[in-house]
Amino acid sequence: MKLTLKVWRQNNKNDEGRFVDYAAKDVSPDMSFLEMLDVVNIDLVKKGETPIVFDHDCREGICGSCGMMINGRAHGPGRGIATCQLHMRSFNDGDEITIEPWRAKAFPVLKDLMVDRTSFERIMRAGGYTSAKTGGIPDGNTILIPKPVADEAFDAAACIGCGACVAACPNSSAMLFVGAKVSQLALLPQGQAERETRVTRMVAQMDEEKFGSCSNTYACEAECPKGISVTHIARLNREFVSAQF
């Protein structure tokens, strides 16, 4: 296949940035989207240009590194996948593909398609944990957790922190990301002791990072590679309200 790529190129945080067109030739339908970019990059380097920079690592949809807006969709067309799991057979010969970084004030562009997601880190540090000390812990089976509860907590815990929820949201809201962690720990007995301070602090940090508010469009759930449900946002809201009063 032959494709035309419109790729966002930006040298650094302060650069204006612009779309640049590239031709991708000899694209095989079996390639992953990132492998297609690898091939384009090899050409660029050979021509003496700097390659397109993008975050990626495990390339099997679990590390959450990769993420780009492809034709206006977070992680491209398809549901329940990260960019690395998108394959070129989802496109047709001759297609034009627009590739952009995640856009949010809280995710400043570092270079090309690579954004700074440390805002997520700061949210997690503001209470996204249980204060369990190493050692001196009673046997795992002393806490009984019914299977449905464990399963629901797992559904929330499956978040890979890629930021697609923020990227897809018209308000650049991080509620699904924060909701997933708050919900996981609110569901489990281990999270009870710090339940109120956790949600209060995490929401405060989220606001400080300048993520937008949730307007319940549910675009986040639609684009989440792990299909995390917006019911976890509802639980976050409930937890937050009850923690305040």
Partner 1 sequence: MNPFFRFINSSVGKKVLMSLTGIFLAIFLIEHLAGNLLLLKNDNGEAFNGFAKFMGGNPVVRILEVGLLSLVLLHIFNGTRLWLGNRSARDKGYGAYRLDENTTLQSRMMKISAALVFVFLTVHMKKFWVPARFQGEHDIASLVYYTFQQPFYVIFYLAAFFILGYHLRHGFQSAFQTMGFRTKRYQSLIEFVAVLFWLVLPLGFAVIPLYIYFFGGSPVAVVQ
Partner 2 sequence: MTMNSNIPEGPIEKKWSNHKFNMKLVNPANRRKYKIIVVGTGLAGSSVAATLGELGYNVHAFCYHESPRRAHSIAAQGGINAPKNYSNDGDSVYRLFYDTIKGGDYRARESNVFRLAEVSGSIIDQCVAQGVPFARDYAGYLDNRSFGGAQVARTFYARGQTGQQLLLGAYAALNRQIDVGTVKFYDRREMLDVVIIDGKARGIVARNLISGKIESYAADAVVLATGGYGNVFFLSTNAKASNATAVWRAHKKGALFGNPCFTQIHPTCIPVSGEHQSKLTLMSESLRNDGRVWVPKKKGDTRSAKDIPENERDYYLERLYPSFGNLVPRDVASRRAKEMCDNGYGVGASKMAVYLDFADAIKRLGSDEVFQKYGNLLDMYKQITGEDPYKVPMRIYPAVHYTMGGLWVDYNLMSTIPGLFVLGEANFSDHGANRLGASALMQGLADGYFIAPYTISNYLASNKFAAVKEDNKEFTEAENGVTATINKLLSIDGTKTVDEFHREFGKAMWDYVGMARNKAGLQKALKILPEIREKFWKEVKITGNAHDINTELEKAQRVADFMELGELMAIDALHREESCGGHFREEYQTEEGEAKRNDKKFAYVAAWEYTGKPGKPKMNKEDLDFEEVHPSQRSYK
Q: Is 197 in the site for partner 1 (CB under 8 A)?
A: no
Identify residues 162-191 at the interface with partner 1 (CB under 8 A).
168, 170-173, 175
Q: Is 238 in the site for partner 1 (CB under 8 A)?
A: yes
Residue type, 124: M
Among 14, 18, 93, 138, binds partner 2 (CB under 8 A): 138
- Measured between alpha carbons, how far apart are the two ends of the chain, in Å? 59
Q: Is 191 in the site for partner 2 (CB under 8 A)?
A: yes
Residue type, 51: P
Question: x/- contact string, 47-86, with partner 1 (CB under 8 A)?
Answer: ----------------------x-xxx-------------
Question: x/- contact string, 5-24, with partner 1 (CB under 8 A)?
Answer: -x-x----------x-----
Q: Is 234 in the site for partner 1 (CB under 8 A)?
A: yes
Select the span of 93-101, 149-157, 165-173, 217-225 touching partner 2 (CB under 8 A): 149-157
Q: Do 212 and 146 touch, CB atoms closer than 8 A?
A: no
Select the span of 92-100, 157-165, 210-218, 231-239 touching partner 2 (CB under 8 A): 157-165
CA distances (Å), 93 to each of 2, 43, 76, 207, 219, in order? Answer: 5, 20, 17, 44, 28
Between 62 and 243, CB nearer to partner 2: 62
Among 81, 203, 225, 228, binds partner 1 (CB under 8 A): 203
Q: SS3 for the chain, per residue?
A: CCEEEEEEECCCCCCCCEEEEEEECCCCCCCEHHHHHHHHHHHHHHCCCCCCCCCCCCCCCCCCCCCCEECCEECCCCCCCCHHHCEHHHCCCCCEEEEECCCCCCCCEEECCEECCHHHHHHHHCCCCCCCCCCCCCCHHHCCCCHHHHHHHHHHHCCCCCCHHHHHCCCCECHHHHHHHHHHHHHCHHHCCCHHHHHHHHHHHHHHCCCECCCCCCHHHHHCCCCCCCHHHHHHHHHHHHHHC
Q: Is 133 in the site for partner 2 (CB under 8 A)?
A: yes
Q: Is 91 in the site for partner 1 (CB under 8 A)?
A: no
Among 20, 23, 58, 241, binds partner 2 (CB under 8 A): 58
Q: Which residue shows structure tokens 């001759």?
A: 94
Select the span of 91-99, 152-160, 164-172, 237-245 touching partner 2 (CB under 8 A): 152-160
Select the span of 27-35, 110-118, 134-142, 209-217 touching partner 1 (CB under 8 A): 209-217
Q: Which residues contribute to the site for partner 1 (CB under 8 A)?
A: 6, 8, 19, 69, 71-73, 98, 100, 103-106, 168, 170-173, 175, 203-204, 206-207, 210-219, 222-223, 230-231, 233-241, 244
